[in-house]
């Protein structure tokens, strides 16, 4: 809305003030547009499972004569969609906290202990994939252990979702001059090159037909990126369709790199 811009010509303080004001207005407008889009995307995503739940409940109410196996199927579908709804709400809350700028709890974290913890949890979630921990070097950084575990579980959950049974998933932690370098490599379906630059966008899912099935929300990687940024780190994804995906996260140690919020997120 250009009519709201302040006009002040010249090089004096008033002109500088006007320029600053206009810049601020622009960034507020951009943030507002993004927020509006997020709310509309979120409503859309929430509506889909709700519609499925209501549809199945209505069916059960209208047709008490349905054969038991069809009743069971309708109930199972309603339950599955309710689970999806609950995942979506949890992810949306995590992002809302991120948007609100809730700061991390920064303490000394033994990253290797967190990695081991996440690895054991992911083992229970695996569906016929081989999970390997290699290497596991001791690294201590300043950070938030719960968030680092959440980050690892997002990446491991993706590796499990997009790797067929029989595939291999390798989780690694290396000490790179005091920084923690985390890797999650899988032999799964990979990400098409055209989708790669977008996977950190909220609600983005490569190839809906394939990625909607495993119950993804499209919010995992945006949350992962936020956690990495809060640690002043970086995240990069390498992928070859049909061969697999490797995600590399670098979290700075207490050395020079540990600048709050100075993270770069790239998709290589
Ligand atoms: P989702 O909940 O759909 O997994 P994410 O934000 O975690 O959402 O990931 C976004 C998209 O990136 C996924 O829908 C999927 O298409 C792609 N993706 C993420 N991780 C992998 C992986 N390890 N292998 C293949 N595709 C992946």
**How far apart are the CA of 199 and the centre of ligand 1, in A?**
7
Q: Is this prediction's pTM over 0.90?
A: no
Per DSSP, the three-state class of 141 is strand
Detail the DSSP E strand segments found in 114-178.
130-136, 140-143, 168-176
Which residues on neighbouring strands pair with residue 109, listed in sequence order? 141
Cα distance between residue 234 and residue 248, in whole Å: 8
Q: Which atom of ligand 1 is nearest to the CA of 186?
A: 23
Distance, in Å, from the CA atom of 251 to the CA atom of 233, rounded to the nearest integer, reads 5
Does residue 221's CB lie within 6 angstroms of at least one atom of ligand 1? yes
Å from CA of 238 to ligand 1 middle: 12
HSE toward the beta carbon, residue 140, CA cutoff 13 A? 2
- Tell me the residue length of the chain: 268
The interface predicted TM-score (ipTM) is: 0.98
State the closest ligand 1 atom to the C-alpha of 216, by its place in the atom list counted from 1: 2
Q: How far is the CA of 191 from the centre of ligand 1 (A)?
A: 8
Q: Rounded to the nearest 5 degrees, what angle is found at the Cα of 116, between the Cα atoms of 110 and 119?
A: 140
For ligand 1, mutation pick of 85, 126, 191, 226 (most atoms within 8 Å of CB) = 191
DSSP, res 7: P
71 neighbors 60 (Cβ within 8 angstroms)? yes
DSSP string, 24-79: HHHHHHHHHHHHHHHHHHHHHHHHHHHHHHHHHHHHHHH-TTS-HHHHHHHHHHHH
Tell me what pLDDT residue 263 has.
Answer: 36
Instruction: Identify which of 258, 265, 266 has the alpha carbon closest to the alpha carbon of residue 108.
Output: 258
Atom of ligand 1 nearest to the CA of 190: 25
CA of 31 to the centre of ligand 1 (A): 25
Cβ of 189 below 6 Å from ligand 1 = yes
If one residue of 186, 216, 227 were mutated to test the ligand 1 pocket, choosing by the most ligand atoms within 8 A of its CB, it would be: 216
Q: Which of 158, 184, 237, 248 has most ligand 1 atoms within 8 Å of CB, for mutation?
A: 158
CB-CB neighbours of 194 under 10 Å: 8
Read off the pLDDT of residues 71-82 as tens digits, 9 standing for 90 and up. 999 999 999 999
Tens-digit pLDDT string for the chain (268 aa): 667 777 777 778 888 899 899 999 999 998 898 888 888 889 988 999 999 999 999 999 999 999 999 999 999 999 999 999 999 999 999 888 888 888 888 899 999 999 999 999 999 999 999 999 999 999 999 999 999 999 999 999 999 999 999 999 999 999 999 999 999 999 999 999 999 999 999 999 887 545 545 578 899 999 999 999 999 999 999 999 999 999 999 999 976 444 444 333 454 3
């Amino acid at each position: 809305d250009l009519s709201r811009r302040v006009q002040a010509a010249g090089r004096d303080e008033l002109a500088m003030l006007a320029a600053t004001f206009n810049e601020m207005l622009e960034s507020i407008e951009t943030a507002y547009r993004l927020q509006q889009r997020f709310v509309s995307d979120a409503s859309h995503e929430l509506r889909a499972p709700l519609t499925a739940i209501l549809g199945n409940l209505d069916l059960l109410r209208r047709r008490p004569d349905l054969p038991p196996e069809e009743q069971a199927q309708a109930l199972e579908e309603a339950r599955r969609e309710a689970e999806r709804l609950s995942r979506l709400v949890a992810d949306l809350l995590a992002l809302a906290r991120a948007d609100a700028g809730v700061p991390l709890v920064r303490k000394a974290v033994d990253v290797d202990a967190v990695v081991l913890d996440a690895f054991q949890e992911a083992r229970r979630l695996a569906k016929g994939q081989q999970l390997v921990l290699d290497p596991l070097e001791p690294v201590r950084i300043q950070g938030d252990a719960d968030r680092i575990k959440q980050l690892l579980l997002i990446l491991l959950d993706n590796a499990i979702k997009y790797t067929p049974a029989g595939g291999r998933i390798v989780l690694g932690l290396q000490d790179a001059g005091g920084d923690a370098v985390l890797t999650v490599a899988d032999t799964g379906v990979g990400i098409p090159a055209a989708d790669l630059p977008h996977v950190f966008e909220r609600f983005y899912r490569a190839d809906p037909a394939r990625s909607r099935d495993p119950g993804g929300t499209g919010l995992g990687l945006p949350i992962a990126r936020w956690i990495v940024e809060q640690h002043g780190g970086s995240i990069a994804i390498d992928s070859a369709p049909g061969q697999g995906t490797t995600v590399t996260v670098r979290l700075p140690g207490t050395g020079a790199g540990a600048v709050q919020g100075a993270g770069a997120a790239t998709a290589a």
